[in-house]
Structure 1
Amino acid sequence: MSEERIGFRWWAEAEPDRQAIVDGSGRTLTYGELGAEVNRLSHGLREVAGLRRGDTVACVMNNSTRMMALYLAAMQSGLYLVNVNYHLTAEEIGYIVGDCGASAVVCSQRAADEAAAAVGGRVALFVDGEHPSARPWEDLTEGRSAELPAERPAGSLMLYTSGTTGRPKGVKRPLPEADADAGARTYKWLFDEYGMDEACKAWLVSAPLYHSANLTPAAGTLHLGGLLVIMEGWTPELFLATVERYGVTGTHMVPTQFHRLLQLPEEVRKAAATGTLRYVLHGAAPCPRQVKERMFEWLGPVLYEYYGSTEVGTTIARPHEWLAHPGTVGRPASISALKILDPEGREVPPGTEGTVYMRQGSDVMEYHNDPEKTKNSSRDGFLTVGDLGYVDEDGFLYLTGRSSDLIIVGGVNVYPAEIEAALFSHPQVADAGVVGVPDEDLGEVPVAFVETRPGILEGAELRESIAAHCAERLAKVKRPARLHLMEGLPRDPNGKLYKARLSEARVRSAVSAD
Structure 2
Amino acid sequence: MYPGPKAQEYPDRPAVIMAGSRETLTYRQLDERANQVANYFRSLGLQRTDPIALLMENHLDMIVAMSAAERCGLYYTPVNSFLSVEEVAYIVDDCGAQLLLTTAAKLEVAQGLPSRCPKVRHWLVADVADPPAPFAGLAAVIEEFPTTPGDDERLGTPMFYSSGTTGRPKAVKRHLPDVSPQEQLGIEEMGKRLFRMREGMTFLSTAPLYHSGPQSSISIGMRLGATHIVMDRFDTEQFLALIDEFKVTHTMVVPTMFSRVLKLPKDVRDKYDYSSLEAVVHGAAPCPRQVKQEMLDWWGPVIYEYYGGTEANGTCGCTPEEWLANPGTVGKAFFGEIVIRDDDGNELPPGQPGTIWFRGGNSSFEYLNDPEKTAEAQDSSGTMSKIGDIGYLNEEGYLFLTDRQAFVIISGGVNIYPQEIENLLITHPEVMDAAVFGVPDEDFGEAVKAVIQPLDPDGGTPELAQRLREFCLEHLARFKCPKSFDFIDEMPRLPTGKLYKRQLRDQYWKDMASA
- TM-score range relative to shorter protein: 0.7 to 0.9
Provide the residue aligned with 1:31 in structure 2.
27
Kindly indicate whether the alpha-carbon contact (under 8 Å) linking 2:2 and 2:71 is maintained by their aligned counterparts in 1: no
**Residues 45-444 of structure 1 correspond to what in structure 2 (within 5 A)?**
45-47=41-43, 49-120=44-115, 122=118, 123=120, 124-130=122-128, 131-133=131-133, 134-162=135-163, 166-183=167-184, 187-197=188-198, 201-311=201-311, 312-333=313-334, 335-359=335-359, 361-379=361-379, 380=381, 381-405=383-407, 437-439=450-452
Shift of 1:476: 11
Shift of 1:366: 1.0
Which of residues 6, 14, 18 is equivalent to 1:11? 6
SS across alignment from 2:97: coil
**Residues 439-450 of structure 1 correspond to what in structure 2 (within 5 A)?**
439=452
Unaligned stretches of 5+ residues in structure 2: 409-417, 427-434, 438-445, 456-497
Considering only aligned residues, what root-mean-square deviation do their CA atoms show, in Å?
Answer: 3.0
Question: 2:220 and 2:452 mapped to 1: Cα distance?
Answer: 33
Shift of 1:19: 2.0
Kindly indicate whether the alpha-carbon contact (under 8 Å) linking 1:187 and 1:223 is maintained by their aligned counterparts in 2: no
TM-score by length of 2: 0.77
For residue 31 of structure 1, what is the amino acid of its counterpart? Answer: Y
Shift of 1:119: 3.0
SS across alignment from 2:292: helix
For residue 396 of structure 1, what is the amino acid of its counterpart? Answer: Y
Question: 2:505 and 2:348 mapped to 1: Cα distance?
Answer: 38
Kindly indicate whether the alpha-carbon contact (under 8 Å) linking 2:361 and 2:384 is maintained by their aligned counterparts in 1: no
1:94/1:314 CA distance change after superposition, 3 Å? same
SS across alignment from 1:267: helix
1:248/1:481 CA distance change after superposition, 3 Å? farther
SS across alignment from 1:160: coil
Question: 1:189 and 1:205 mapped to 2: Cα distance?
Answer: 19
1:485/1:341 CA distance change after superposition, 3 Å? closer
Question: 2:447 and 2:99 mapped to 1: Cα distance?
Answer: 35
Kindly indicate whether the alpha-carbon contact (under 8 Å) linking 1:255 and 1:287 is maintained by their aligned counterparts in 2: yes
For residue 30 of structure 1, what is the amino acid of its counterpart? Answer: T
More moved, 170-179 vs 205-214: 170-179
1:57/1:140 CA distance change after superposition, 3 Å? farther
1:384/1:481 CA distance change after superposition, 3 Å? closer
Shift of 1:482: 10
Shift of 1:385: 2.3
TM-score by length of 1: 0.77
Kindly indicate whether the alpha-carbon contact (under 8 Å) linking 2:195 and 2:281 is maintained by their aligned counterparts in 1: no
Shift of 1:30: 1.1
Shift of 1:167: 1.7
Kindly indicate whether the alpha-carbon contact (under 8 Å) linking 1:355 and 1:386 is maintained by their aligned counterparts in 2: yes
Shift of 1:64: 1.7
Are residue 42 (structure 1) and residue 43 (structure 2) matched?
Answer: no
Provide the residue aligned with 1:463 in structure 2.
none
What is the number of equivalent residue pairs in this alignment?
431
- Percent identical pairs in the alignment equals 36
1:140/1:357 CA distance change after superposition, 3 Å? farther
More moved, 357-366 vs 63-72: 357-366
For residue 38 of structure 2, what is the amino acid of its counterpart? Answer: S
Provide the residue aligned with 1:489 in structure 2.
513
For residue 160 of structure 1, what is the amino acid of its counterpart? Answer: Y
Kindly indicate whether the alpha-carbon contact (under 8 Å) linking 1:256 and 1:441 is maintained by their aligned counterparts in 2: no
Kindly indicate whether the alpha-carbon contact (under 8 Å) linking 2:166 and 2:406 is maintained by their aligned counterparts in 1: no
Kindly indicate whether the alpha-carbon contact (under 8 Å) linking 1:87 and 1:476 is maintained by their aligned counterparts in 2: no
Structure 1 stretches of at least 4 aligned residues deviating more than 6 Å after TM superposition? 406-410, 433-436
More moved, 97-106 vs 132-141: 132-141
For residue 114 of structure 2, what is the amino acid of its counterpart? Answer: V
